[in-house]
Amino acid sequence: MSELEEAREITCPHCWERITVFVDLSAGGQSYYEDCSVCCRPIAIAFETADGELASLSVEAAE
């Protein structure tokens, strides 16, 4: 993990387990899909950064 990546714990909207995702703070903002490491179902993740820090993070179930 680089210093521009930050680990965040989220709750899977499918199985409700806590998992860790990594966000790239140099991206400015990003939307992507990632499979839950517990139940393997897709999660839509979106985040925004401001001044090199995480400003917002949203997690939704994707089908």
Over residues 13-61, the pLDDT tens digits come to 999 999 999 998 888 889 999 999 999 999 999 999 988 889 999 999 9
Q: Does the pLDDT at position 12 exceed 90?
A: yes
Q: What is the pLDDT of residue 2?
A: 59
- Nearest alpha-carbon partner for 3 in 29, 30, 22: 22
The tally of domains found in the chain comes to: 1
Q: Which domain holds residue 48?
A: 5-61
E-only strand ranges, the chain: 5-11, 18-24, 29-35, 42-50, 53-61
* Residues 11 and 18 sit within 8 Å (Cβ to Cβ): yes
What is the C-alpha separation between 35 and 37, in angstroms, rounded? 6
pTM: 0.86
